[in-house]
Structure 1
Amino acid sequence: MINKTEFELGYTPKNLRKLRNQYNLTKTKVAEITETSSRNSVFNWELDSDNNYSQTMPHHKWLMFLKYLESLPPAHQDGGAK
């Protein structure tokens, strides 16, 4: 389960990076989960907003990502290392 107290509200590059790392997911896997054609998009979503190459993750893709994470059993959190 996602511990919502550790995150800022909604999508931020920091939240995406933190969740991706917490669940031990690659950028390629996040692209697959969000039905995105390239992991480069995920790379750009994770860039801080002051970076010229940063892109905002579309809200519907953020919701797809969260829905996927919520569907995982607790053992998948932190790469299953508990």
Structure 2
Amino acid sequence: MVEPAERRLARELASFPEAMGATPEYLQPHRLAVYLFEPATAFSGFYEQCPVLTSGGTVRESRLALSAHTAAVLERGLDLLGIQSPQRL
């Protein structure tokens, strides 16, 4: 079963290539910064509503993968903006 918060986060992450491509096309780096706010906010809701470590089996694996993908997208986006991402939160 996929929770709405998981679905929202996955949709936001899927938009990363489009957001990344639009930034140099329009020479407006703020577009990427605005985009990064969306998956960060979606992850906050996901983390609040969907237990990751206490879930079992494939649900746990899926949520861990979604969390790792979120970290990768945020880290890559911040790197493109010249911002060093924190190693731990």
| Bucket of the pairwise TM-score, normalised by the shorter protein | under 0.3
TM-score by length of 1: 0.27
Larger radius of gyration: 2
Bigger share in helix: 2
TM-score by length of 2: 0.26
